[in-house]
């Protein structure tokens, strides 16, 4: 297998995003978000081989399959990549064991707040640990637990999200926690914005929706076609009907799957009232729904009944491109943004 050459950074960019590059061990401090059924060994390894940073999505796949994914990814690239584990997934602890046993260099905790012992377990395996932070208090707790870096993700992102926008979180988290590298996610689709975020203090950025549009991404062509035609405002977040059934909001394009999720919540709330199910099992049912629904759309191409998880940046993507071309655009646009900043400062 011929390994492609990485996309090169520029001297100007290297000066401002060195911290992110060194933490990830990549040519570019650009992470590909872990998207279930999409961030597979092919996309993750190519992302890393091209100089960015791939993140393998565990979702709630059977542990033996996730172990194969890790091994397959490692066989395809000698460059660093991460494994993403979802703390609210039933197979979460098994997934964490797999990443630790195989000594994957970076581990990302997502979904909810991991225990301090779980963060320590990842660190004891030799991994660098990244944790999501959707509030300043969570950021502080994750750093106290030993997180080596944070991912600040605003509500504009696709899939499971918090409730606060990226702009607010920049002020609440990025500006107040300089001790660790912070990667910004949520609503990002261009190199120009990444450059400005790094100038503000970010170590780098994470994108998901933009990378769905890579030619090499295995998402179904109908899934990608919906993204091309979608507008930003059509990527909506799911409501929580009752505090009796806490659910993590999901942002996706509006279709029948979103309507069915509302019906599922009502059914589960009634079962909770009758004592036919406990809250933990009800929450698992919610996660099972989204994992299965996303597969129907992203893998099988059912864009009516399957979940079309997408960030609001979907309104900024309009074509399918080779992954190399996407990354080259990111670098070019970021470099041009720096040049424009210099011109303004010198004016």
Angle between helices 63-76 and 41-49 (to 10 degrees): 30
In angstroms, the CA 314 to CA 123 distance is: 35
- What domains can be seen in the chain, in order of their start residue? 11-219+317-346 (3.20.20.70), 221-312 (no CATH)
In angstroms, the CA 203 to CA 191 distance is: 14
In angstroms, the CA 37 to CA 99 distance is: 18
- DSSP codes of every residue in 25-39: TSSS-EEEP--TTTS
What are the tens digits of pLDDT across the range 45-90?
999 999 999 999 998 889 999 999 999 999 999 999 999 999 988 8
In angstroms, the CA 148 to CA 33 distance is: 18
- Say whether 245 sits in a helix, a strand or coil: coil
Please tell me the predicted confidence (pLDDT) of residue 177. 97
Please tell me the predicted confidence (pLDDT) of residue 67. 98
Whole-model pTM? 0.94
In angstroms, the CA 36 to CA 280 distance is: 22
In angstroms, the CA 145 to CA 114 distance is: 9
Pairs from 160-164 (Cβ < 8 Å, separation ≥ 24)? 160/86, 160/110, 160/111, 160/248, 160/249, 160/250, 160/290, 161/134, 161/186, 161/237, 161/248, 161/249, 161/250, 161/251, 162/134, 162/135, 162/249, 163/134, 163/249, 164/134, 164/135
Q: Which two tokens stand for residue 293?
A: 């629904």
What are the tens digits of pLDDT across the range 108-135?
999 889 999 999 999 999 999 999 999 9
In angstroms, the CA 192 to CA 174 distance is: 18
In angstroms, the CA 226 to CA 305 distance is: 13
Q: Which residues contact 19 (CB under 8 A, 6 or more apart)?
A: 29, 181, 203
Residues of the chain with pLDDT under 50: none
Contact 227, 318 (CB under 8 A): no
């Amino acid at each position: 297998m011929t390994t492609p050459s990485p996309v090169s950074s520029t001297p100007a960019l290297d000066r401002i995003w060195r911290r992110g590059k060194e933490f990830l061990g990549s040519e570019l401090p650009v992470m590909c978000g872990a998207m279930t059924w999409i961030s597979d060994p092919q996309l993750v390894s190519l992302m890393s081989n091209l100089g960015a940073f791939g993140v393998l999505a565990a979702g709630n796949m059977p542990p033996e399959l996730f172990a194969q994914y890790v091994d397959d990814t490692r066989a395809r690239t000698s460059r660093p990549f991460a494994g993403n584990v979802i703390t609210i997934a039933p197979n979460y602890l098994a997934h964490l064991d797999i990443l630790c046993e195989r000594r994957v260099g970076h581990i990302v905790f997502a979904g909810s707040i991991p225990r301090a012992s779980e963060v320590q377990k990842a660190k004891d395996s030799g991994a660098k640990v990244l944790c999501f932070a959707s509030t300043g208090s969570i950021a502080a707790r994750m750093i106290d637990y030993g997180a080596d870096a944070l991912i600040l993700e605003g509500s504009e992102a696709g899939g499971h999200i918090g409730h606060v926008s990226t702009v607010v979180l920049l002020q609440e988290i990025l500006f107040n926690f300089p001790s660790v590298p912070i990667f910004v996610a949520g609503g990002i689709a261009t190199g120009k914005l990444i450059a400005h975020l790094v100038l503000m203090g970010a170590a780098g950025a994470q994108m998901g929706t933009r990378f769905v549009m890579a030619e090499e991404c295995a998402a179904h062509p109908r899934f990608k076609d919906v993204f091309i035609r979608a507008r930003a405002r059509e990527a909506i977040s799911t409501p929580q009907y009752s505090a009796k059934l806490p659910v993590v909001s999901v942002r996706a394009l509006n279709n029948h799957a979103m309507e069915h999720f509302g019906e599922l919540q009502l059914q589960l709330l009634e079962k909770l009232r009758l004592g036919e199910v406990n809250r933990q099992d009800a929450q698992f049912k919610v996660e099972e729904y989204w994992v299965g629904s996303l597969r129907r759309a992203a893998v099988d191409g059912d864009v009516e009944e399957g979940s079309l998880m997408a960030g609001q940046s979907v309104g900024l993507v309009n074509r399918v491109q080779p992954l190399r071309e996407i990354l080259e655009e990111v670098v070019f646009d970021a470099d041009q943004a720096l040049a424009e900043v210099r011109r303004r400062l010198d004016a």
